[in-house]
Each structure stands twice: as structure tokens, then as C-alpha cells.
Structure 1
């Protein structure tokens, strides 16, 4: 498990000789953005998730993926919990009380993932289980040229995910990943019937049939956040804007993300529509950036922010995440956001002045008192001895 870093910076990656591609993001004290909305009878959990936690090994700095029979060097390496852990960690670091239902093998990968989520990232695992005689799902991510390729190995969990998910505590929001030919999970419908808002995304359709059953599932959802390719494919449209308009016929809040080009959304609950530019930052690893965007958007929605602010905040969180290695452990915390805002706000260039105007709402949130009290190392820490 990743170790703690001292506030004076001793023991950071630079001092240990790790390269730039294995840099350690800041952490800072937790900030409860929903503190003013909490009532004694409100749910104790803000966000509930169910899915697969993978043990991820991420290799960065590749000039190209290896061809058959060849070997290529990787400049950086990271190990971290992946899969549903990506969004869970991102949400927790941004202040949401997060609960996950997942199976963990009783192996060293499961030990690492469980301890990282429960002890370091403060994710509620009361609805999760350790499973003997079953190895944890495993993914290798190869990051190169601003994108990544994945190699995954897993066996179905002996404990049905639906059985574990029924034990999730009631939450303010639930997150699901939609699948063609399936229905919204029973646990998510139960959460919704008790007042939770269901946020959804969708994975890549390997068959590329883009079955419209996915759109029918949106009747149970509050918000849908696909990327531009997914949105256009499922709606059979030729532009992100056309896809967004079509999606708005199916779900109260429709969002289409387009990477560094930004995001657009329609919120029929508030009557808002918005389109914002993306933030272009040095990219080391894009793994989990979509999950980080989703976490930022959920935070802003639960906090009651205007739509444009939600999109800008989610864009910023996702952009900050690609500067570090690993899907979950690259997610920004409030200290990362504070550091970016202070740097941007103090800049004198035209670009910084524009960003200062667009992100002026951050002055209400940061800078706040914080210390880098926890290390979120996205380097090869499993089994590290000191």
C-alpha cells in the first residue's frame, strides 16, 4: 500500500529519484462541499457504486505499443486499484462520502486494492467482500501518444455483484455503467426509488452495433455523460451537438464530453444549457479521465452549482488527472485544485486572465487551509519495503 508523505515534503518522488512520469499529486485536507446541505435524516453516503475493482499496472512514456516479437521501454510505471475504483477515489477526494460494492480476491492484489481504498482513500467497503480461491481481476494499461491500450484478465466473481450491491447503504446519488441488452441494475433502481439521483455512462461497444437498448435504460437515470464518439454512435448523429439534442429526449441531464475540446450539456431540470472549452495540459496518462470528469460533475450537481460551473469543474478535475500516472491515484484532490487556481490566478498572460475569469467561482472554494498530509503515489508501490 502507498505510504504517507510528510507535510514538509520529505520522502517525495523527486527526492527518491523517481522520474517526472511518476510524480506524486498533492492531497490536502478533505473538504465537504455538501456540509451545508446535510441534515440529521439525510443519507450518510453521498455516492454509491457497484462494479469490478481491477488491480491496474500502468506503463507510461511509450513511444508506441510493442509489435509482435519486440520489446519497448516504458519511462514510468504505476500500480493502483482500477475499474469502479477510478470514480470512487475521484469522488472521495473531492469530498463525497462514497461507498463501493465489489469483490476482492484474497491475494496480494486484493490486499493492496482493499487497503488503498478503505484506509488511504476512505471509501466505504461495507458492501464489498473478500473472496477466497479467486484471484483479483488484473489490467495492464499501456499509455502512449495521449491515449492508452488495455490488456485485462479476469474470472467472474463467485459472489454475484447483484447480491453484494443490495447491501449498499442508501445514498444521495448512484452511478451505473450501462450495457447493451441489459437493464438498469436492481440496486440502482432501489436507490432511485428512495430519492437517489442515478448518473450513468457507457463503455465502448466492441460489437459497434450501438444497440438502442442503452437509450431505453435512461428512463431510470438523472444524468448521462458519454463521450462524443459514444453519443454520436448511439444516437446515429453526425456531430456532438446533434447527439446532445437527441440525448436530451431521453434523460433530464445530458452531457457530451469531447476530451481537450471540452464538454456540452443540457439540464432540463434547471432549464440550462452550456458549452465549455477543454483545458489542455501535459498528458502523461489518460486512464480514468472520464471517470474523474464524472466525479466532478456529480460533486457539482449534488452541491447545486449552475450547469456551466459543473462542466468547468469536471473539465478541470479530468485535465489535472492526466498529468499523473494511474487511473484512480491520479485523481485530483482539493490541494491540486487550490494549487492550480493560485498559479492561474496569479498569472499575467492573456490565457491565465481568461481562465481566471472563467474559473472565478473557485475563489469561493480555494484557497482554503490545507496541508499535503497524504501521499497519493501512483508509482510501483506494491510490496515496497522501507
Structure 2
């Protein structure tokens, strides 16, 4: 997500250099990937979400992790809505009409996050609430050597999430995060009863017990998208492929992501299975890359793309996101994808030719004449206004 202003003096991608670190996501027109499937009686919202929105401050380019009594300089910094906002923004930038149910404090962090989501990222907040005398959840993310550490402070919302989530508009899909000891939330069941597909991921288990109750919740889900460590831990298997085989017995669409090593999936609905290599790009911050992958997969599924295409598109979106700072801040839009495709399609290396073949489907999604605009989003800084 970007600030309300645009940085002055920022040039065209070819002048800045496509691979320049600390470049900001390109500005581009929104694209409705589901335009051909929209009917007068179809849901107005494509993806419904409920969760906590954090105000994130992300610091990148640390020379070393901070130690007690020391001060460590950071080369880059960004501020943006995080938590459930990561997936919401990623989906919205890729063309989905997205609605979020969340609590926002009436402090400067909450106001900034609300404005960013509603006004800039076009996320429907009709089921969200501003709450007086409650400060917004807050996270500091420290990006170091391709990974990140988080420091978080929050108080429970005075208004329960389940209460707010009942106001979510009907959607084509709902996304939930599964948790041991919980159930698929009632709002998601209500969405599914009216035709929504439930997509799910799972958070890291700090206890590392990997309770079976998480897998039992899959009977209510359409698709499950864990990473390789989570998938192997919950299934008690020794490889991502073995984990995928067991997950495919529990849920119609099972996906296992493995970062730069790629992703694999089985779709029982279409009878497809696929495995694709990852894309390795210069990494500034991995925050939100998993959310971006999930957003890409929801987009491809709702658009009816073949399974391999869905995996490749999701891999590309996630890989593009790690080149920028922050979770929602780094989520790519269609201009970023177009820039990558134009750059790759015009390349002469063996790798470029291979990628041009593997991603040939992008030719229809981002035609060659359709180029990014000359403007780029400025990195988000809270309170920066003209």
C-alpha cells in the first residue's frame, strides 16, 4: 500500500532499472479478471475476509540482527496496514472485489489504515468498525537476510470479530486461517451456505504439537494452502509430496508452497495435479509473500484457470512482492506483472526464453501494448501529506 502522495522525480521503469532494489510497486490500471463471469445476480464481492489489521512498521536492510544494548541502522522503511490487510490488498490489486471485517482504533494508526484500505486500495470496510478509546494493534517487522522477525503489541478488540463478520457481504470466496482448538468461523459457514468457496491457510504452531483438529476442519473447506513445513508437520510426513498426497484426501484442492523451490497442488474437482518451480528474485522483505501467493491462487481459481497456470501466477506474484518493503505495501498489481512479462518476453537468455514459454498465458492477460505508467507509488510514511 502506498502513501496518498507520489514521490517526485521518479522515472520510468527502464530508467530506474527493473531490478533496482528498494524500488516501489508500479502504478497501473486496475483489471477485473472476473468481468466475463459477472452476472446481475452474482455476488458483488469476490473475496470476504475477517481478522486483525495491524499497523506495520517494516525495517529492511539490517546489517545484523539487533542485540541487547546496541543500535542497528536500517536501509529501508515502510508503514502499511498488515495482518489480514496483506491478503485483502493483494487480492484487490489483482482485480478482486474484496471486503474485510476488522476493528480499527480511532488513533492515527487506525485512521491511516482505514484510509489506505478504503480509499486507496478500494477494500469494502462496511463490516468493519472504528472503536473509540482503543489503540490499534501494532507490529514492527525487522527484515534480515531473506527472513524477518516480528515484535507485536495488541489488546483484544472490544467488539468481537465474529460479531462484526456477520455483516460481511456475500462473496464468491471466503478466506480463513485455521487454528488448533477452534472451528471454521460461523461467518465462513454462512458464506459457504450461499455458494462461497472457503480457502484456508494455517498459522505457525508455537507449541509445535501440530494438533489433528486443524486437519479435521478441512472438511468444511474448498482449498487449503499451507507451506511445506506446516504441511509436513500436520501430516507427520517427511516430504512436501507425501504431505500433499494426504491433504488431497481431506480437501478438494490441496496446495503446498515451498518458497523459492516452488509449489505443488492437487485439484480433485478438475482432476488436475501440478508442480512448478519457484522464481528466485532479489529479496528485500518476505513479509506477506504467503498472503500474496494465496491471493493469486484465489484469483486464478475464481477465474477458472488450469491448475498449473494458477500455481505459476501465484509464484510470480509472491516473488515480485519480496522485492519491496512490507506486506500489503509490496503486493504487486497488474502493472508490476506487465513489467515483468515485458522484460522477460524481450530477454535473450536461456532462462528468459524458458520463462517466456512457461508464462506464455500472460500474453492474453497483459497484452504487449499494455505498459505500466511512468509513475510509481511512493513508500508509505504515516502522516506524510502535501
Same fold by TM-score greater than 0.5: yes
SS of the aligned residue for 2:31 comes to coil
1:320 is aligned to 2:320: yes
Cα deviation code 1:143-171 (max 9, x no counterpart) = 01100000000000000000000000000
Distance in structure 1 (CA, Å) of the matches to 2:230 and 2:384: 40
Which piece of structure 1 moves more, 63-72 or 264-273? 63-72
SS of the aligned residue for 2:58 comes to strand
SS of the aligned residue for 1:62 comes to coil
Contact 1:22–1:77 (CA under 8 A) maintained in structure 2: no
| 2:217 alignment counterpart | 217
Distance in structure 1 (CA, Å) of the matches to 2:155 and 2:12: 35
CA RMSD of aligned residues (A): 1.8
| 1:226 alignment counterpart | 226
Structure-2-length-normalised TM-score: 0.95
The residue correspondences of 1:29-44 to structure 2 (distance < 5 A) are 29-44=29-44
**Displacement of 1:68:** 1.4
**Displacement of 1:4:** 4.1
| 1:97 alignment counterpart | 97
| 1:383 alignment counterpart | 383
Contact 1:176–1:199 (CA under 8 A) maintained in structure 2: yes
| 1:372 alignment counterpart | 373
Cα deviation code 1:70-94 (max 9, x no counterpart) = 1111111110000000000000000
Cα deviation code 1:112-146 (max 9, x no counterpart) = 10000000000000000000000000000000110
| 1:277 alignment counterpart | 277
Runs of 4+ aligned residues of structure 1 deviating over 6 Å after TM superposition are: 12-15
The residue correspondences of 1:54-69 to structure 2 (distance < 5 A) are 54-69=54-69
| 2:6 alignment counterpart | 5
| 2:46 alignment counterpart | 46
Cα deviation code 1:236-293 (max 9, x no counterpart) = 0000000000101110000000000000000000000000000000000000000000
| 1:255 alignment counterpart | 255
**Displacement of 1:69:** 1.5
Note the residue ranges of structure 2 that are not aligned, 5 or more in a row.
none
Contact 1:80–1:378 (CA under 8 A) maintained in structure 2: no
Distance in structure 2 (CA, Å) of the matches to 1:291 and 1:61: 22
SS of the aligned residue for 1:176 comes to strand
| 1:339 alignment counterpart | 339
| 2:194 alignment counterpart | 194
Note the residue ranges of structure 1 that are not aligned, 5 or more in a row.
none
Residues 1:318 and 1:178: Cα distance change in structure 2 (over 3 Å): same
**Displacement of 1:65:** 1.4
1:86 is aligned to 2:82: no
Contact 1:296–1:310 (CA under 8 A) maintained in structure 2: yes
Residues 1:171 and 1:374: Cα distance change in structure 2 (over 3 Å): farther
Distance in structure 1 (CA, Å) of the matches to 2:94 and 2:277: 22
Distance in structure 2 (CA, Å) of the matches to 1:277 and 1:46: 28
| 2:154 alignment counterpart | 154
Residues 1:362 and 1:11: Cα distance change in structure 2 (over 3 Å): closer
| 1:361 alignment counterpart | 361
Distance in structure 2 (CA, Å) of the matches to 1:13 and 1:135: 39
Distance in structure 1 (CA, Å) of the matches to 2:272 and 2:173: 21
| 2:329 alignment counterpart | 329
Distance in structure 2 (CA, Å) of the matches to 1:280 and 1:369: 25
Distance in structure 1 (CA, Å) of the matches to 2:295 and 2:94: 8
Residues 1:341 and 1:264: Cα distance change in structure 2 (over 3 Å): same
Distance in structure 1 (CA, Å) of the matches to 2:40 and 2:56: 38
| 1:25 alignment counterpart | 25
Cα deviation code 1:296-351 (max 9, x no counterpart) = 00000000000000000000000000000010010000000000000000001100
| 1:123 alignment counterpart | 123
| 1:141 alignment counterpart | 141
Contact 1:52–1:84 (CA under 8 A) maintained in structure 2: yes
Distance in structure 2 (CA, Å) of the matches to 1:111 and 1:159: 17
| 2:352 alignment counterpart | 352
Distance in structure 2 (CA, Å) of the matches to 1:231 and 1:338: 32
| 2:164 alignment counterpart | 164
Distance in structure 1 (CA, Å) of the matches to 2:385 and 2:217: 47
| 1:305 alignment counterpart | 305
How many residue pairs align between the two structures?
Answer: 379
SS of the aligned residue for 1:354 comes to helix
Which piece of structure 1 moves more, 359-368 or 218-227? 359-368
**Displacement of 1:372:** 3.3
SS of the aligned residue for 1:274 comes to strand
Cα deviation code 1:22-56 (max 9, x no counterpart) = 42110200000000000000000000000000000
